Amino acid sequence: MQQINLPTPNLPKPLDLPRIDLKPPSARIPSYRPMVIPPADLEAPEETKADTKETTEQPTAPSMKIPVLDIQMPLPTAEVVTTATYAAVAAVATTTLATPFFDQIKKKLTKFLQGKINKWKEKRKKKKDSSES
Q: How far is CA 105 from CA 96, 98, 109, 110, in A?
A: 15, 11, 6, 8
**What confidence tens digit (pLDDT) does each residue in 106-116 have?**
999 999 999 99
In this structure, the strands spanning 71-74 and 63-66 are antiparallel
The pTM of the whole model exceeds 0.75: no
Based on its alpha-carbon atoms, the radius of gyration of the chain, rounded to whole angstroms, reads 43
**What confidence tens digit (pLDDT) does each residue in 33-45 have?**
888 888 888 887 7
Beta strands in 22-87 (DSSP E): 63-66, 71-74
Q: List all residues 6 or more positions away from 77 whose beta carbon is below 8 Å from its beta carbon.
A: 61, 62
Residue 61 confidence (pLDDT): 74
